[in-house]
Amino acid sequence: MSPGAFQEAHDFILNNPQFIYSHVHTTNHTINNDVIAFVPGSGIQMLLQKSMPDAFHDSSARYPPPRCHTGTREALIKTIIDWGNGASNYSDPILWVYGRAGVGKSAVAQSSAEAMNLQGNLGAAVFLSQSSEDQDSRCLFTSITYQIAIKCDTFSSIVDYRIRKDPTLVDKSITEQFRELLIKPLQELGEKERARLDGWVIIIDGLDECEGMQAQCDIVEIVATSIRERTTPFRWIFLSRPERHLSTLFTKKLTDSVSRHLELPVSREIDHEILLYLSDELKTVQETHNLQSSWPSEKDLTTLVNLSAGLWIYAVTVCRFIIEPNSSGPVDQLDTVLSLATPVPSNTSESDHPLTELDMFYTLIMRRVFPKVLPTVLQILLLHSLNLPQCQVQVIPAVANILGLSELQLRNACSSLQSVLEITPDLHIRFYHASFGEFIRNPTRSKEFCIYSSLEPLRNGLLNRLNSVHSHSTETNLIIDVTWPNPEASGFWPFGYFNGYSPFEVSVRYDSIFVEGSMVSRPHLRGAVFIAHEITNKHSGGASRQSNATNLQPAYQLFQQTGECYKGTTLYLGLWQKQGFVLEL
């Protein structure tokens, strides 16, 4: 080592030293006159932060993932794997696998991804779901790039350097991401490295779960363009429902030389596979509960197969229902399901038959909720399902605090729905299948169990809650009890009045504190609640429309200026909009 500043030095102390290995290439950026050094590897870390690791095929967040039961869908999976291997009769670089809700698309995708991963030609797999709040279609190609990078060191080094050189690449449009993070790094690879990636399979499950039809089509078009221009060496599998815009895109806009289609139909031809699945699952139940070896009978199994009517989600949900822990036991649960074995109504077409059967089963599950608890359950589901700007209820403590429920009360209310939903470790409600959410939102299908039947009582309860919130005195340090407190959160009201509560929990009492401690004056708060009162009067006939509009304008102007602070009031107004009212102020 050559002499340096410390030659012959001793007995000294270094405070907060930073050692830099001189042979490592770093990329420096100046921010506010401070030099930030991005060392090798930091680019990949930035890429990971803009990816969706919870959506990867081997993510613990999806455990246990939906996968095909042993001995089922084998021919279908073989077809997909043969296509992925580039068999002579499968030259098309895009495969669209489509089918209606509940046919098992995600299970097929998972089993195919695991098989391809074992044989070494899985480049990446992303499983999209609307029920996951952390997923964003803008992070799709960053997620794919990251998975490829961890499997190919040379590609990883190139991507890492490019992001360190320009950290904004991970925030570009999806078109630019594809070009800068996939196409250009691939062009820098040597011939040997590029040949190694040739034919790697990229699986995108739940294309229709991406937000917006245009975004879904853009993703496919970007991939198709790269195939036509031969800028990427991959083979792509898209799985989705056969939505009209996707059907038009795959079947009419993409040529046969680019795209192949594979349908997963609702078909009684798979009855033998559903029978195998039900037999194995209920055999495990029989052994676990020490039931008679004759349970379930062959007749019972045949009835369950007929009820499933070729729809996988029905059979899977039946098994969850039978083993539900807070129930009268598997024997009684099975008998309850078998009671559904009634003829299909004569006015139901064959194409609608599977949906009718599933709706009957979901109706059965809802009817088993105790009548006294049902209104609360519907309000929980309503708050969970709302998608309103600036007031999305994302975690169940927020739901509990809005409804005035303790943690135990909320969990008990949800316990009767364990066959269709779960409360995740990070305190979110997750539906096992999107079809249940569609069921409870559709009044034609769910009838008295439609969540929108709870709009009026939830509105009234929320308005009363807001009244008590804004009429409460801050001067006397009196607060409304938080039913599900969060002791790890910090306070947001002056003088530490509310230490120990998250902004969402405090917002149940003070409408202004919904946004990370943001506050407005008390007159503004009164104006927000006044708006809520006037909206109620206007649509309930409590006062003249003209006088209300006149009185409402000053308060509404204040509300518009800082509306993001009034999430409680925004939620209240949104409940009116959900019922079809146009709020003309």
DSSP letter string, 438-500? HHHH-HHHHGGG-GGGGHHHHHHHHHHHHHHHHTS-TTTT--PPPSS--TTSPP-SGGGTTTT
Identify whether residues 381 and 467 lie together within a single domain. Answer: yes
Residue 163, both tokens: 């992001």
Last residue of a domain, one of 332, 367, 402: 367
- Determine contact, residues 117/155, Cβ cutoff 8 Å: no
How far is the C-alpha of 345 from the C-alpha of 505, rounded, in Å? 48
Quote the pLDDT of residue 3. 52
C-alpha span between 123 and 121 (Å, rounded): 6
Measured in whole angstroms, the distance separating CA 241 from the mean position of its chain's CA atoms is: 16
Whether residue 191 sits in one domain with residue 86: yes
39 belongs to a structural domain: no
In three-state form (DSSP H/G/I as H, E/B as E, the rest C), the secondary structure along 61-73 is HHCCCCCCCCCCC
pLDDT for the residue 449: 93
Is 326 part of any domain? Answer: yes
Same domain, 352 and 391: no
- The reply to whether 571 and 446 lie within a common domain is yes
Looking at the domain assignment, is residue 426 inside a domain?
yes
326 and 376 part of one domain? no
Last residue of a domain, one of 327, 346, 367: 367
d(CA 385, CA 376): 14
* Residue 555, pLDDT score: 44
Question: Does any domain span residue 234?
Answer: yes
pLDDT tens digit at each of 585 positions of the chain: 445 555 566 555 555 555 443 334 444 443 333 333 456 678 999 999 999 999 999 999 888 899 999 999 999 999 999 999 987 677 899 999 999 888 999 999 999 999 999 999 999 999 998 766 677 889 999 999 999 999 999 999 999 999 999 999 999 999 999 999 999 999 999 989 999 999 999 999 999 989 889 999 999 999 999 999 999 999 999 999 999 899 999 998 887 778 999 999 988 999 999 999 999 999 999 999 999 999 999 999 999 998 888 889 889 989 988 988 777 899 999 998 898 886 544 444 434 444 577 888 899 889 989 999 999 999 899 888 776 444 455 678 777 877 778 889 999 999 889 888 888 888 888 888 888 888 998 888 899 999 888 777 776 666 666 555 544 444 443 344 557 765 443 332 222 333 343 333 333 333 332 222 223 333 344 444 444 554 455 444 444 334 344 444 444 454 455 444 444 555 555 555 454 443 443
**Global confidence as pTM:** 0.68
Is 393 in the same domain as 507? yes
Inter-residue contact 403 to 412 (CB < 8 Å): no
- Do the domain assignments include residue 171? yes
Q: Which two tokens stand for residue 60?
A: 């613990």
Could you give the number of structural domains in the chain? 3
228 in the same domain as 108? yes
Residue 325 lies in a domain: yes
Contact call for residues 456 and 475 (beta carbons, < 8 A): no
What residue numbers bound the domain in which 188 lies?
A: 45-265
Whether residue 1 lies inside any domain: the answer is no
Q: Examine the domain organization and report whether 216 and 281 are in the same domain.
A: no
Q: Are 159 and 185 in contact (CB under 8 A)?
A: yes
Residue 167 covered by a domain = yes
| pLDDT of the residue at 186 | 97
Q: Are 117 and 107 members of one domain?
A: yes
Same-domain pairing of 197 and 330: no
The CA distance from 204 to 78, in Å, is 18
Question: Which CATH number characterizes residue 83's domain?
Answer: 3.40.50.300
Task: Answer yes or no: do 386 and 525 share one domain.
Answer: yes
- 118 and 228 assigned to the same domain: yes
Residue 390 backbone zone (phi > 0: left; psi -120 to 50: alpha; other: beta): left
Q: Choose one of 265, 296, 314: the last residue of a domain.
A: 265
